[in-house]
Chains A and B, each alone.
Chain A
Amino acid sequence: DSGVTQTPKHLITATGQRVTLRCSPRSGDLSVYWYQQSLDQGLQFLIQYYNGEERAKGNILERFSAQQFPDLHSELNLSSLELGDSALYFCASSLLVAGELFFGEGSRLTVL
């Protein structure tokens, strides 16, 4: 158990819909990262937050947004969903700015 909690574990929705994925980092970790894992794209970095502030942005679509709240949990919002958004979405947290990441078990999103 990494200490990182992601909900929901599985989510099935339709194209055009909007979903929110939630991540609770390990106790004390200030950094939260979001990744998308799909068969054809591998593990793609989406966005990083540090203590509530956006720190780095990767290949995140404009239809996606994220935020980190004062209690350090984070949410990833995916809107206008397309079939290609079907993937496993991982959250990871880190104590240090450049420390190792601890991953949650992921949220599997299926868009029909």
Chain B
Amino acid sequence: NAGVTQTPKFRVLKTGQSMTLLCAQDMNHEYMYWYRQDPGMGLRLIHYSVGEGTTAKGEVPDGYNVSRLKKQNFLLGLESAAPSQTSVYFCASSERQGRKLFFGSGTQLSVL
């Protein structure tokens, strides 16, 4: 099993450009999450999903949109990238509420 896979691993955008980060999990987990981590800081929750077709806001949702059309995939979109969105983005999934999270290896995003 691959676990949680994030694509791409690296991306450079210009201010105002859009992009989508893809997270895929093969563990049949119900819950999926997107976090961002800025240098020297902890992880902050952007959006999460409790099942296929559902999404909800986390701590820092502004400037991001998400979709969970299929159970195994959780997409994070940036409609108009800003330099403040330069960060490392981590996707995670879990089988049940409050239980063990499995993380992907991260996407390094730079917005110039």
Chain A complexes with chain B: no
